[in-house]
Amino acid sequence: MDYEALLNLVRQRRSTRKFKTDPVPDEALEKIIEAARWAPSGANSQPWEFIVVKDKQIKDKIVDIVVQQGELNHRVELSREEDLRFSNIGGSGKEPGYKNAPVFIILCGDSRTQEAYPLITELTQGESIFTSSLANAFVYMALAAAALGLGAQWVTATASALRAPILKKYLSIPRQFKIYDMLAVGYPAAAPGPRLVRERTDMLHVDGFDHSKYRSDKEMRDFIQPHKTPDSCLEMQRLG
């Protein structure tokens, strides 16, 4: 693969919000996991475990667990200043767009793998490196799905402190494991809109931070305000 092919793939990858119910071939799922297992990890610790869920009853239960905490999410969101609120967070009876995705892949990490790091690293940076390792595998999964013509949605709600313990018990995930996030996978039911991406020159600094590119509080606020470009903001923020 040359650089242009890689760049096109990265640009092609988008978060899918609506899925067809068409099944995903097992071969495609195997390719997604195969790509992810080659991701870089701290001390080559390879902390990942992949729970692939295709059973509708189990998927529906996972969605129920996520939705049950939605009302609390909504109430917390209302505490923000109005122009920064997400209007689509939680609320009773709201089902997530990934509900119909035919496959859920829950990425977990075995916390015991942190012992692979040098001791000083484990004590000072262990959790950060562990999380970054899992993030690498997750990105590889998302890119592999895009390369296969599949849609995928990054679902972070499964990793919240309110939901993860319930999901771990329901899915019999060992105590030492941490749920990183979930990837909903399937064929897109609708094409996503244009994505907002900052200009490369605005974020590039050479030999030190270029303070002429420092964004004021107002510029930052204008950039992140959800009501201005909701699809783009959802794409950039880690929301389930």
- What amino acid occupies position 43? A
Q: What is the pLDDT of residues 77-134, one digit of tens each?
A: 778 777 776 666 655 456 788 999 999 999 999 999 999 999 999 999 999 999 999 9
The three-point CA angle 75-83-67 to 5° equals 30
Instruction: Give 166-198 pLDDT, tens digit per residue.
Output: 999 999 999 999 999 999 999 999 988 888 889
DSSP letter at 103 equals: E
Would you say residue 233 lies in a domain? no
pLDDT recorded at residue 192: 82
Q: Which residues pair with 52 in a beta bridge?
A: 105
| Residue 14 resides in a domain | yes
Tokens of 119: 């001791």
240: confidence class by pLDDT, cuts 50, 70, 90: very low
Q: What pLDDT is attached to residue 239?
A: 36
Position 59 in a domain: yes
CATH code, domain carrying 170: 3.40.109.10
What is the token pair recorded at 148?
A: 């296969």
- Provide the whole-model pTM: 0.87
Please provide the size of the chain in residues: 240
On whether residue 220 sits in a domain, the answer given is no
Let me know if residue 198 belongs to a domain. no
Task: Specify the number of domains making up the chain.
Answer: 1
- The Cα-based distances of 164 to 44, 115, 160, 171, 177 in angstroms read 26, 23, 6, 10, 10
Q: How confident is the model at residue 70 (pLDDT cuts 50, 70, 90)?
A: low
Partner residues linked to 103 by β-bridges: 185
Q: How far, in Å, CA of 31 to CA of 29, rounded? A: 5
The verdict on residue 230 lying in a domain is: no
State the residue range of the domain holding 137: 3-193
Give residue-wise pLDDT tens across range 1-28: 799 999 999 999 999 999 999 999 999 9
